[in-house]
Copies of this chain bind each other. A is one copy, B any other.
Amino acid sequence: MTGKLYVIGTGPGAADQTTPQAAAAIAAASDFFGYGPYLDRLELRPDQNRYASDNREELSRANAALDRAAAGASVAVVSGGDPGVFAMAAAVCEAIEKGPPSCRAVDLEIVPGVTAMLAVAARAGAPLGHDFCALSLSDNLKPWDVIEQRLTAAASAGFVIALYNPISKARPWQLGRTFELLAEVLPPTVPVIFGRAAGRPDERIEILALADADALLADMATCVIIGSAETRVVDRPGRPPLVYSPRSLTRAMA
């Protein structure tokens, strides 16, 4: 008997940013696996079971969820934002690939959501309005020199950069080093957005020039967006500034 495995993105956090598709999947599942704070956002019924785990236990969580689904349960793996962006969908796919053949028979449904960079961008203007990249700054799963190489390549080629997992207690210096590295290839005036809890009551959006960007403004729940040389800041009297990347490339790249 094979059950169902939903991998659900609940969006950036505000209830009205969770899609009806995600809400329906949550209503349909019986067993919930995820990082505790993401599960805390759900209003589960008494007949729904909750299996919270730490945020670094992605593969073991995926395996546990897959086992339950393969045994016939209707299981949900829950991510904030979108499950396909530095979240659980890749871990579930990896567990399916590495697991016994029965894993491949599980009915898998991945439910997309509004990922953090889109929510932060919407509150700041349109910083992702032109070519951009999304990069995890965590060197737990890839070497730091590869991260530096990607940062330099992306900034040099004119991509706006959205950073996920910018900092944590175990990774305190990487974001500061990132700003130093990018200052070598980008103008000091390039805007940097620190966005946290976008759309929620405790939202915090801060905009600084790259030369003034301070890693201490970020925590592990912050999405940091670093503009390109094209990105502009529009001041507005009595309102926060707008940051946007023009649709047209207005001057030659170096």
Contact = CB atoms under 8 A, between A and B. Distances in A.
A114 interface: yes
B239 A118 contact: no
B129 A132 contact: no
Contacts of A239: 104-105, 108
A142 to B, nearest CB: 4
A151 to B, nearest CB: 9
Nearest to A120: B112
Interface residues of A, number: 80
Nearest to A159: B133
A132 to B, nearest CB: 6
A129 B59 CA distance: 13
Contacts of A19: 11, 16-19, 114
A85 B128 contact: yes
Contacts of A154: 133, 153-154, 157, 159
B131 A93 contact: no
Contacts of A247: 58, 86, 90-91, 94, 141
Contacts of A113: 114, 118
A96 B234 contact: yes
Contacts of A16: 19-21, 24
B249 A141 contact: yes
Interface in A71-126: 82-87, 89-94, 96-97, 104-105, 108, 110-115, 118-119, 121-123, 125-126
Nearest to A111: B122
Given A112-B122, A234-B93, A248-B141, A158 B129 contact: no
A35 interface: no
A74 to B, nearest CB: 17
Interface of A: 11-12, 14-21, 24, 58, 82-87, 89-94, 96-97, 104-105, 108, 110-115, 118-119, 121-123, 125-136, 141-143, 146, 149-150, 153-154, 156-159, 199, 232, 234-239, 242, 244-249, 253
